Amino acid sequence: MAKTNLLERNAGGLIEHDHNNDGINRRGFLKCMAWAGTGALCVIEGGVLKSHALASHMGSGMKSHNAGGLSFVQISDSHMGFNKPANPDVIATLKAAVDKINALPEAPEFILHTGDISHLSKPSEFDNVDQILKSTNKEIFFVPGEHDVLNDDGAMFRERYGKNSKGQGWYSFEKNGVYFIGLVNVMNLKAGGLGTLGGEQLEWLEDDVKHLKHSTPIVVFAHIPLWSVYPQWGWGTDDSAQALSYLKKFGSVTVLNGHIHQTMQKVEGNVTFHTAFSTAFPQPAPGQGEGPGPMKVPAEKLRSILGITDVNFVQGRHGLAVVDSSLA
Amino acid sequence: MTKTNLFLSAVALVLAVGLASVLVLHPTMAKGETAASPLEVRVDNFTFGPATLTVPVNSMVTWVNKDDLPHVIASNDGVFKSKALDTDDKFSYTFSKAGTYGYFCSIHPKMVGTIVVK
């Protein structure tokens, strides 16, 4: 990331909210959203959104700051096999994302991939991604995107990435006191509808979180956004409200999604929603342009709107800090 | 010549010219890249064109994907389903029974269309 550019931008107006309740300054929020596409950092802590310069956030304070906590990375939408404008080389940009991960000052404990690993569900595409991600030396947790389950209802995906999963590929696990739930909302889609979790998965979810303490921080990850980003383009999940109703009792819920190939945040009560950059190609802002296809951008701009997401949980803090950084 | 006859002659002339122009223009239209053949549905910018296509019984309908992303053509009630269609890939299905067949893209379900078979 070009630090000088970022600092110049921040010199124009650092967004930082001092109130430590769940209030959020709408003007600041939108300003930060506008920056997201150009590589600024949006951090959500305790429901409060802050924007930091990369240099200050990634500085020496980070490591001690996070003692006893948990750091992990989200990547999304690798679309291995895609070869059209604006990105004829998705291998190179995925490798750049891996370099970015390996250079993080706080080494992440593991990686979440929120789907569309492949472009056409081909074994060679999955093989390429596996090969590239191997150099992170990290455990990787996957959920499928619709591009990963094209011709076999997800059988190959589950064979490769979901051996210990339930149903069509959903599962949960605990790390350092944080409870992670991987959901599948790209299967059995209905004509005219959005993403779907389905009755069987919802029942499992309700039962799975019953035994957890209300103070347990929850991270939910799934491919299609679990909030209504732009239903006209299919950017939402029909039965996400029911899933979220099972999570109401928890003080901190972080929802991480992909699918829309751009960063976006929303805070709603106890829930922070976040969508990640793609590592392959950008898509237009909701409703901007004719449709949700790949957005064509000049080659020199491409890496500024692809990227990774770094997430940090600090013991004793209310929420998780979600930091996007571009590949530029 | 009565007024009626004059009018009919004028109508006939217009029809003749019109028919001639259709006959002359049609071959160039058929070569044009944007003109779908009568039994073709173009998948373009996340929409089906035409959204509703009416065909006679025993017609073969062909879908062609003009998008940069793959689509999957699936009938609402499981009568037909394509494999993933990448850019410029085609899928054809022959409708042997009259009826109204709703379909959608099974990975972008907001995309819907209808084939009416008469």
Contact yes or no for B112 and A190 at CB 8 A:
no
Q: Do strands B59-65 and B90-95 pair parallel, antiparallel, or not at all (unpaired)?
A: antiparallel
In sequence order, the β-bridge partners of residue A48 are A45
Is it the case that residue A161 has pLDDT exceeding 60?
A: yes
- Min distance A282 CA to chain B CA atoms (Å): 13
- Domain membership of residue A138 (yes or no) is yes
On whether both B62 and B112 belong to a single domain, the answer is yes
Q: Each residue of A195-226: pLDDT tens digit? A: 999 999 999 999 999 999 999 999 999 999 99
Residues B12 and B47 reside in one and the same domain: no
Counting one residue from A and one from B, how many pairs have CB atoms under 8 Å apart? 57
Residue A62 counted as domain residue: no
- Tens digits of per-residue pLDDT, A234-252? 999 999 999 999 999 999 9
Highest mean pLDDT among A66-80, A232-246, A311-325: A232-246
Report chain B residues whose CB lies below 8 A from the CB of A292.
46
Q: Using the beta-carbon criterion (under 8 Å), do A146 and B107 form an inter-chain contact?
A: yes
More confident residue, A12 or A264: A264
- Annotate chain A with three-state secondary structure: CCHHHHHHHHHCCCCECCCCCCCCCHHHHHHHHHHHCCCCEEEEECCEEEEECHHHHCCCHHHHHCCCCEEEEEECCCCECCCCCCCCCHHHHHHHHHHHHHCCCCCCCEEEECCCCECCCCHHHHHHHHHHHHHHCCEEEECCCHHHCCCCCCHHHHHHHCCCCECCCEEEEEECCEEEEECCCECCCCCCCCEECCHHHHHHHHHHCCCCCCCCCEEEECCCCCCCCEHHHCECECCHHHHHHCCCCCCCEEEEECCCCCCEEEEECCEEEEECCCCCCCCCCCCCCCCCCCCCCCHHHHHHHCEEEEEEECCCCCCEEEEEEECC
- Which of the four pLDDT bands, split at 50, 70 and 90, describes residue A319? confident
**Do the domain assignments include residue A27?**
no
Neighbours of A176 (CB within 10 A): 13
* Over residues A128-149, mean pLDDT: 98
Domain count, chain A: 1
Q: Predicted ipTM? A: 0.79
B45, B87, B109 ranked by CB distance to A193: nearest: B109
Are B65 and B111 part of one and the same domain? Answer: yes
Tell whether the model's pLDDT for residue A46 goes beyond 70: no
With respect to residue A296, please indicate whether it lies within any of the assigned structural domains. yes
Q: Which domain holds residue A275?
A: 71-326
pLDDT band of residue B36 (cuts 50, 70, 90) is low
Select from B22, B108, B113 the least CA-distant residue to B75. Answer: B113
Contact A145, A120 (CB under 8 A): no
**Is A13 a member of any domain?**
no
Provide, rounded to the nearest whole percent, the portion of chain A with pLDDT above 70: 79
Amino acid at position A186, single letter: V
Minimal C-alpha gap between B22 and chain A (Å): 32
Is the distance from CB of A123 to CB of A160 less than 8 angstroms?
no
Please answer yes or no on whether B45 and A233 come within 8 Å at the CB atom.
Answer: no
Higher per-residue confidence, B26 vs B111: B111
Q: Are residues B51 and B86 in the same domain?
A: yes
- Residue contact A119–B70, C-beta within 8 A: yes
Please state, rounded to an integer, the average pLDDT across all residues of chain A: 83
Question: CB contact, 8 Å: B100 with chain A?
Answer: no
Task: Identify whether the C-beta of residue B60 lies closer than 8 Å to the C-beta of residue B39.
Answer: yes
CATH of the domain at A149: 3.60.21.10
Q: Are residues B30 and B64 in the same domain?
A: no
Tokens coding A109: 């404990």
What is the span of the domain harbouring residue B5?
1-35
B18 and B48 in one domain? no
Are B102 and B114 in contact, with CB atoms under 8 Å apart? yes
- Same domain, yes or no: B85 and B45: yes
pTM: 0.80
Of the candidates B45, B70, B76, the beta carbon closest to that of A150 is on B70
The total number of structural domains that make up chain B: 2
CATH number at residue B86: 2.60.40.420
- Kindly state whether residues B86 and B101 are assigned to the same domain: yes
Residues 6+ apart with CB under 8 A from A127: none
Mean pLDDT of A266-275: 95
Tell me how long chain A is: 328
- Within-domain flag for A291: yes
Write down the pLDDT at residue A22: 34
Average pLDDT score, chain B: 81
What is the pLDDT at residue B6? Answer: 52
Label residue A68 by pLDDT band (50, 70, 90): low
Do residues B65 and B105 share a domain? yes
> What DSSP designation does B71 have?
B
Indicate the pLDDT class of residue A316, thresholds 50, 70 and 90: confident
Instruction: Examine residue A46 and state whether it is found in any structural domain, yes or no.
Output: no
Identify whether the C-beta of residue A183 lies closer than 8 Å to the C-beta of residue A170: yes
Residue A293 has its nearest CB partner, among B45, B72, B103, at B45
For the cut 80, the answer to whether the pLDDT of residue B24 exceeds it is: no
Residues A310 and A111 sit within 8 Å (Cβ to Cβ): no
Q: Is the pLDDT of residue A67 over 70?
A: no
Is residue B97 located within the same domain as residue B44? yes
Same-domain check for residues B23 and B69:
no
- pLDDT at residue A52 tops 70: no
| Per-residue confidence (pLDDT) for residue B114, from 0 to 100 | 98
CA angle B61, B66, B69 (to 5 degrees): 115
How far is it, in rounded angstroms, from Cα A51 to Cα A33?
Answer: 10
Look at residue B9 in the predicted model and tell me its pLDDT: 55
A288 vs B: CB within 8 A: no
Residues B44 and B69 in one domain: yes
Q: Which of A151, A161, A46 is nearest to A111 (CA)?
A: A161
How far apart are the C-alpha atoms of A185 and A208, rounded to whole Å? 17
